[in-house]
Amino acid sequence: MMIMGTHCKKALWMALVLFTVHVAKAQERVQKTIEKSFPLTDAGELQLENKYGNITLKGWNQNKVSVAISIKVNHRKKENAEDLLQRINPEIKASNSYVSIVSEISNKNTGWFADFFNRNNPIDFDRSHVQIDYEIYLPAKAGIKVTNRFGDVVLENCNGPLTALIEHGNLWIGENLNKADIILKYGKVRAKNLNYADLDLKNGELDMEDSKSLRLRSDGTEINIHSVSSLEIYSNKDHISVSEAGTLYGSLEFTTFKLERLAQEVDLKMKIADFRVYEVTNPSAEISIEQESADITLSVANFSHRFTATLEEGVVRLPKSFENVDSEMLDKGRRLRKIVATYGSEKKGSISIQGQKGIVTLND
């Protein structure tokens, strides 16, 4: 009897699985394409807001914008899919100086779907029913303001200023941009050169080549940068790797930061961070750090400098090659100690570290 019961359960389970698969596959798909073109020059701007789809922007040398919108809807009932498809009509406005496109769904009697779709963050909506994809050609140097949720944005041969807000999607930048303001949540940024950029990243990834001036606010992000002349950073719970930086300033909290080469200056505040510099290339470089419970490792070979550390309950480790080492107890009760030393002959550079607890290690 138990064996028969087991067989019955298996049979019912298989039937349920087959029924589920059948229901999942029994989806009606309908689609339509909208194509438009508008005059626009390099001095103009494209504004685009979208949800549930991918956006591809391609620069060209014509004074116009060419827009192709592919809209697909899935539903178990074909009449419902067709009704929804008819109500998806992006709102397009155009003048000589800008083109504005907003993905919208017109209201039906109840308006429940449109209300869901047109909210800023419709997280609870089953986005698998709708796919709205854009392919747009525009003047290569025209400005771009793009917002996309639940989809990727790709830029090809676009050189104008970029303002982007992307959630649950990736941003791919194939060309060098002179100016970029980017907010990205839950996605990846892949870029070549962003000369002047302001990035706000949350729970994502950044992989880019070079920047002249980069302002970076990040939370829970994996960051890889090849070279940056000036980096202003406000980091929380990140893993950061930079091959070369000129100036570096800002704050780190619960972050791991690895810098291969420092060219000029560091001015940082950090808390429970792991900060490492593997080479200082400028003999006049200045490093100033205010820290709490941080692990700081600086490789100072060939970097002659004056060293000062004032730490409460902290640890300083200096190699034997340091000279004029002096340790002074400023407050025995607080275990506040000041340590000064010199390294090398010219002593053009400087390292100053202060704060509470933490471990400071200098290697040569």
CB burial of residue 12 (10 Å; 0-12, 13-18, 19+):
exposed
Rounded distance between C-alpha atoms, residue 233 and residue 250, angstroms: 5
Mean pLDDT, residues 179-193 = 97
Interacting residues of 50 by C-beta distance below 8 A, sequence separation 6+: 101, 103, 132, 134, 146, 147, 148, 149, 151
User: Given pLDDT bands bounded at 50, 70 and 90, which one contains residue 14?
Assistant: low
pLDDT recorded at residue 22: 47
Measured CA angle at 228 (ends 144, 242), to 5 deg: 115
- Contact partners, residue 314, CB within 8 Å, separation at least 6: 337, 355, 356, 357, 358, 359, 360
Higher pLDDT, 19 or 324: 324
Q: Write down the pLDDT at residue 335.
A: 87
Residue closest to 364 by CA, chosen among 276, 302, 305, 280: 302
Q: 154 Cβ partners below 8 Å, 6+ apart?
A: 54, 55, 56, 57, 172, 174
Which residue's structure tokens are 């922007």? Answer: 57
Domain borders along the chain are 28-144
Give per-residue pLDDT as tens, 135-165.
999 999 999 999 999 999 999 999 999 999 9
**At residue 66, does pLDDT exceed 80?**
yes
pLDDT of residue 81: 87
Average pLDDT value for the chain: 90
For residue 126, pLDDT beyond 80: no
Q: According to the model, what pLDDT value does residue 329 have?
A: 84
pLDDT in tens, 220-250: 999 999 999 999 999 999 999 999 999 999 9
pLDDT of residue 25: 52
- Which tens digits make up the pLDDT trace of 330-343? 888 888 899 999 99
Predicted confidence at residue 24, as pLDDT, reads 46
